[in-house]
A and B are shown apart, each in its own frame.
Chain A
Amino acid sequence: MMRVWLLLAVVVLAGTGGEVAVTRAMKQIGEVHQFHPRALLRVLGRAMLVKWMWLGLGLLAMAFFSLLALLSWENVSYVVPLTALSYVVGALMAKLFLGEEVDHIRWLGVLLVVVGVVLVAVG
């Protein structure tokens, strides 16, 4: 049981932490305007030179393999409702580490999404 909760914490924290780091890297690259394949490859190449990207990818890989492990022990309908917490942690981290403005409406939306995801997974 203990290992399930530990892995769950890794999934949520490493997952959102990784996404926040990746967001930071992409904001450093700046808004992508061109979408033909060569331009996209150039963007991805530039992104790979940003340290935040590597930290983010590392954390995301950690979260991914932890989730894989978790899903092999526990039922999806048990794991997914708990990982829905990521939306709250993500909004919190976005506010703290990315300086995003999470106003009341966005918070309410995030909370509804969490409740909804839990209901979908449990139902």
Chain B
Amino acid sequence: MSVARRVRLKTYVMIVLMVVFGPTGDALLREGMKQTGGVALTSVRSIFEGLERGFQNDIVWMGMLSLIIFFVCYLLVLSWADYSFVGPASAISYAVVTFLGWVALGETVPSLRWVGVLVICLGVFLVGHTPTRTTPETQ
């Protein structure tokens, strides 16, 4: 396998991991914070109280763990790939989340959202056809 192909494959693997752990973490965090009553931004004290309630919830912690895994994958991929490649390419998560919601949870997806998914896929396809790295190697 050529170097460029190996780097591209590595990049795609990391993006897949990001797409799995990012939205999962977001969803868990959202659910957990909802369960604990959210954060009221009326005063500094109420913010800390809201966060403290959140930190006592297991789902919030699971969400944070998932987001940490997401972030480590993000850091790793940025050690070799362009930020302007990885950023837009990982937007494929919107398409995956919509599709999974439709298939697994039987959510009704409005047609406008399907158009959005299609446009995102097209955008990611185009970004995917540019080089994964355009800056010189540092080491």
Q: A residues bordering B, Cβ < 8 Å? A: 19-20, 22-23, 26-32, 35, 40, 43-44, 47, 68-69, 72-73, 86-87, 90-91, 94-95, 98-103, 105-106, 108-123
Contacts and interface: CB of A to CB of B under 8 A. Distances in A.
Query: Chain B at the A interface: mostly helix, strand, loop or mixed?
Result: helix
A120 B83 contact: no
Contact of B135 (A99, A106, A111, A112): A99
B113 A109 contact: no
A113 B83 contact: no
A30 B114 CA distance: 39
A94 B122 CA distance: 21
Interface of B: 7, 33, 38-41, 47, 72, 74-76, 78-80, 82-85, 87-88, 91, 94-95, 98, 109-131, 134-135, 137-139
5 contacts: A47-B75, A101-B134, A105-B129, A116-B116, A123-B114
B39 A106 contact: no
A105 B82 CA distance: 15
